[in-house]
Structure 1
């Protein structure tokens, strides 16, 4: 199929070359995705539907270089091609994409060239047997801890995909690799005398890890129970907060964004190479951040980015100091720096204190937000509290509602990272982050 698409692209180029004032095509990229999928849908513990499917599609991108008012641009446009399409239909798509590319005014950038480097393979234990044979184990892992009287799993969906990817380009790139992507979505409910709670969550993975799934279900049942009996969050005004679990990832992704070549080029980052992003007078734990394209049990792991650029592990921040920017060839070319390719997995080292140390003084611990927003330009963040615990120095109570807000640029000088670590799909880092004097708006 790829050879067929390449032949039709060549035919399109030939036809356009005969037209007066046409803009010459300067390159193409074809990404093939061949997906073998197995899906299960449950209502409570009863199987409602099983679905298996094979999907094969091709994403094509056409590139055109052109000059306007002495400025050189690289335009690009993309579209999906399906194997069932006729040559005439594919040719029409190519023509439309090629035409659209001539209107996209991105500053000129070169295309990725082939590399002789042999890349490490992405490994997964799902490769040991057919996907369908893993479904009973996944089902057992989800429902193993669903044994409570007042609550349980209301419904769940399991998606397990084997994804073959091949990237071919006009520059000579021809690379391929296979990855596995699993996702579980489920709703837990809990009924107390006063209220019944329903909460949605999802879990991404690329390896069969029974304990990981079981622990996530246990965590969500606890959260559902605690939310059902939670009191309204009091108006604490300025308070020390502990972010636990997923909120940690949302907060610390700020540093990934600040070091992005794309963010820097678009002037959405003020991070400077060789400078401490937390300030030279920072008193808390300093950020050490590494991007790792080969992280185990991450659905974002890949030996190449979507342009066929070979990926390697790279340290971005070291004790708060920005070592280098990261990003694709295009935006790194704009900054005149060596590209890293797009890497979506990140690791942040833990700090000097334990979670027990953090909980010696009064705190508001937040394990889940209904919504969390982080402005990577200003550093402002805010979130509506779904569930937390307030410790006043004597007693601890679950709370819900209200919100927290702050600015990471102001708070990061006294930011503390726990020794204890967590692993959540594409993130490895501290389990808890402690921030001082954060604004807490209560509802009581």
Structure 2
């Protein structure tokens, strides 16, 4: 199929292009409680072709682009028609000219991961054992789950000489925990690992069983007011996504963001933990074929990198870094035990927690929170929190304890002061 794509590009005189080929091999298991409901193995190949068309408009050099999806089942005539249609569509896209990255053919990179040490079938058996390791109770249990182990072989080539490939493994899935007493509730959880993290998965399930049992006990709403709030797990990653979004070249160039390198983007008078964030290269190449390396995003709250793909980097006159999907945040200065002193609200789950990356406003409706008042702990549900990261960033506190999850490595928890809670 790749040869057919290249032939069609040549015949149609499409001189500038980018091809992404992904061969995906996976083993998938679906459970109802602990009973295997369905198993599936698949091996499929996807092709995404970006075609570029250069032209002038009012004396200015422009470059339009369009994307075509090619499937292995297509005939040559279908491939040819699809690429011609995309090339025609590219003539209506009026972007200022920008170059594609240049490169050469390189040897395939085999990702170093413990998942590659076993067959996909062996990996999924080990993960399944871990999934159900602590699922031993009658009233609180996993009522359904899906487990996938996947190997991807990525091949990227373009008209500027780039011809690179690499292998990538992952283990991912989701599960729903149900607790039937004192009220019947369900909670949703997912997981993603790039290594064979059996113990991490087992502990994640154990924590999910415990929090779901607490959710079943929670009936009261919190009282309206301002609280010291502790957020954990994925919610801290969501909050800190603000800095990654605002420092992207696609946001800086059109002036959606005013971030500049060497700006104190955390504020001038930081009394809490200063943020140190690294953009982590989890893949050897970006989707454009740019070599990926770890880069410092924030150092003690000061912006060090504007990051992004070729187009906006060229417009800004900076080095294209590729697009990053993972950040690594340095540990904080306080242990969880030190953070959890006095009276505070610990939010364990939301129906949905979001941050507006343009304004910094964040908030969400709480599904489960624990109100700590001395030795007394009260499970609560309902109500919502709201705030703005620009108002709390100078006094936030990060935990020394860390976690690893999809897109985020860093502190388990973050503590925020004077957060508005709407409840009773």
Q: TM-score, normalised by structure 2?
A: 0.96
Pick which of 118-127 and 379-388 moved more.
118-127
Give SS of 1:372's match.
Answer: strand
State yes or no: 1:255 paired with 2:236: no
Give the C-alpha shift of residue 104 in structure 1.
1.2
Preserved contact between residue 240 and residue 438 of structure 1 (Cα < 8 Å): yes
Q: Which moved more, 1:311-320 or 1:264-273?
A: 264-273
- The answer (yes or no) to whether the contact 1:268–1:376 under 8 Å persists in 2 is no
Change beyond 3 A, Cα 1:312–1:119: farther
Residue 195 of structure 2: aligned partner: 207
For residue 12 of structure 2, give the secondary structure of its aligned residue in structure 1: helix
Alignment of 1:19-418 (within 5 A): 25-114=14-103, 121-193=110-182, 195-293=183-281, 301-418=282-399
Decide whether aligned partners of structure 1 residues 66 and 178 sit closer, same or farther in structure 2, where only a CA change above 3 A counts: same
The alignment's TM-score, normalised by the length of structure 1, stands at 0.92
Moved more, 308-317 or 63-72: 63-72
> Number of paired residues?
424
Contact 1:119 1:310 in 2 (8 A): no
For 1:427, the equivalent position in structure 2 comes to: 408
Q: Does 1:436 align with 2:417?
A: yes
Contact 1:115 1:310 in 2 (8 A): no
Q: How far apart are 1:119 and its partner, in Å?
A: 9.1
Hey, what's the Cα distance between the residues in 2 that align with 1:146 and 1:362?
33
- C-alpha contact 2:363 2:387 (8 A) present in aligned 1: yes
User: Does structure 1 conserve the Cα–Cα contact (< 8 Å) formed by 2:331 and 2:410?
Assistant: yes
Shift in alpha-carbon separation, 1:361–1:117, aligned structure 2, 3 A: farther
RMSD over equivalenced CA pairs, Å = 1.6
Structure 2 unpaired stretches of 5+: none
Residue 3 of structure 2 corresponds to 3
- Checking the alignment, whether the CA contact within 8 Å between 2:222 and 2:382 is kept in structure 1 is no
Q: How many angstroms does 1:72 deviate by? A: 2.6
- Taking the aligned partners of 1:2 and 1:128, their CA distance within structure 2 comes to 30
Q: Once the 2 structures are TM-superposed, how far is the Cα of residue 394 of structure 1 from its aligned partner? A: 4.5
The residue that corresponds to 1:20 in the other structure is: none
Query: Cα distance, 1:383 vs. partner?
Result: 0.7
Greater mean deviation of Cα atoms: 351-360 or 372-381: 351-360
d(CA) in 1 for partners of 2:337, 2:133: 29
Q: Deviations 1:316-344 (Å, cap 9, x if unpaired)?
A: 11000111211112111111111211121
Greater CA drift, 173-182 or 124-133: 124-133
